[in-house]
Amino acid sequence: HALAASRGDRERAVARLEADGHSGVAAIMSGASEAAGGITIPAAQSEELIALLRPRVTVRASGARTVPMPAGELRTARQSAGATAGYGAETSAIAESEMSFDAVDKSFKLLRALVPLSNSLLRHSSVAMAQHARDDLLKAMALREDLAFLRGDGANDTPKGLRNWALAANWRDGIAGTAAAAEAAVRWAVSTVEDANVGMVHPGWIMRASAKNWLASLRDDRGNPVFPSIDASGTLKGYPIRTTSQVPDNLGAEGDGTEITFADFDEVVIGDAMQIAIAASTEAAFVDANGETISAFQRDLTLMRAVSEHDLAPSHDEAIAGFTATGWSL
């Protein structure tokens, strides 16, 4: 914002920031390298963006573990089968058994967003305009990551989401919109994960708000809530509910289907290859939606860019269960 207001003059931008009380930003700008053609937002502000991003993303907020992926790839060994034991006669041979292992691989998927801003707008506005642009980038990044972590199919350099990591036996389709069917499906999802000997360290639900509210409205034959804990504590079967509009509500032939996901999120691992990086430039160029290359310098624009690298994989696929329900809306 200071660079745009000073028409790219670093000395004037530093003086402007100092006068406005932003001495820390001014010091970083004074020592920053111009070789890349832009100014990187200071680390303190980047850390603030990370803090804002995580609560907005349901998978992260549900307790998914985050591990560093500094080389862009991460391979984790996983035990897929264990030893067995059995009884036998005193002199009989002991049956042999073997442990087996496989790997859970993660490699970074690149998530990016770019917003061009008019320098005239920045020059004649307050710093709130730059903050608004930053927050809009943040929202776009959060929503796209949320969608990928929930429903991504792993194609076209995208992460594979919970829906597609779930084993075929751990997912059911066509759950009807009745109290009896809903209660049975909810009980089945929890039992499926628990019966797989999952630790249930951070279990929870992810669904649309409309599905949550529909469940809260269900009544039994005596008029009592079927799931009273939803309104009382925001939980279902004792486990917290996270809601997001990224879960669709138009699935199935009738166009009224939605997905309900249950998982022990301690078993869900997110590999972060880098912290979210925000950069701004008045000299760079970009390719617009029509495929034309636009010069920011020629158009008097400031480009604000956000970049994040990450991937998701469960330690054990058995920790995820869910179902597709129809008619679960008010």
Q: What is the pTM of this model?
A: 0.72
**82 — pLDDT class (breaks 50, 70, 90):** low
Q: Angle between the 127-151 and 43-56 helix axes, to the nearest 10 degrees?
A: 50
How far is it, in rounded angstroms, from Cα 52 to Cα 131? 13
User: In sequence order, what are the beta bridge partners of 322?
Assistant: 171, 261
pLDDT (tens digit, 9 = 90+) per residue, 266-288? 999 988 876 777 888 888 899 88
Q: What is the DSSP letter of 219?
A: B
Query: For helices 10-19 and 23-31, what crossing angle results, to 10°?
Result: 160
Asked if the model's pLDDT at residue 26 lies above 70, the reply is no
**8 Å CB contact between 243 and 58:** yes
pLDDT of residue 40: 42
DSSP 8-state assignment for residue 96 = P
Compute the distance between CA of residue 48 and CA of residue 122 in angstroms, rounded to an integer: 22
Sign of CA dihedral 142, 143, 149, 150: positive
- Residue 162's pLDDT is what? 96
Domains in the chain (CATH in brackets) are 33-77+100-330 (3.30.2400.10)
User: 203: which strand partners?
Assistant: 264
Distances from the Cα of 49 to the Cαs of 8, 46, 137, 213, 247, in angstroms?
25, 5, 10, 31, 24
pLDDT at 70 over 80: no
Confidence of residue 194 (pLDDT cuts 50, 70, 90): very high
Could you tell me the pLDDT band of residue 1, with boundaries at 50, 70 and 90?
A: low
Confidence of residue 106 (pLDDT cuts 50, 70, 90): low
Confidence at residue 46, expressed as pLDDT on a 0 to 100 scale: 44
Dihedral, CA of residue 241, residue 246, residue 250 and residue 253, to nearest 10: -90
CB 258 within 8 A of CB 222: no
Measured CA to CA, the distance from residue 13 to residue 2 in angstroms comes to 5
**How many CA atoms within 13 Å lie on the side-chain side of 94?**
6
* Angle, vertex CA 154, rays to CA 77 and CA 268, nearest 5: 45
What is the predicted pLDDT for the residue at 127? Answer: 66
Residue type, 128: A
What residue has token string 């998530």? 111
Give the separation between CA 135 and CA 116, rounded to whole angstroms: 14
Helical residues (DSSP H) of 82-155, grouped into ranges: 119-123, 127-151
| 25 residue type, one letter | V
Q: For tokens 């269960």, name the residue.
A: 321
* Mean pLDDT value across residues 138-147: 86
Q: For the residues of 301-316, what is the DSSP string, one character each?
A: EEEEEEEEEEEEEES-
Whether 41 shows a pLDDT value over 60: the answer reads: no
Q: How far is residue 202's CA from residue 213's CA, in Å, rounded to a whole number?
A: 23
Residues in the chain: 330
Contacts with 207 (C-beta within 8 Å, 6 or more apart), sequence order: 241, 243, 247, 258, 259, 260, 261
Residue pair 105/74 in contact (Cβ under 8 Å)? The answer is yes
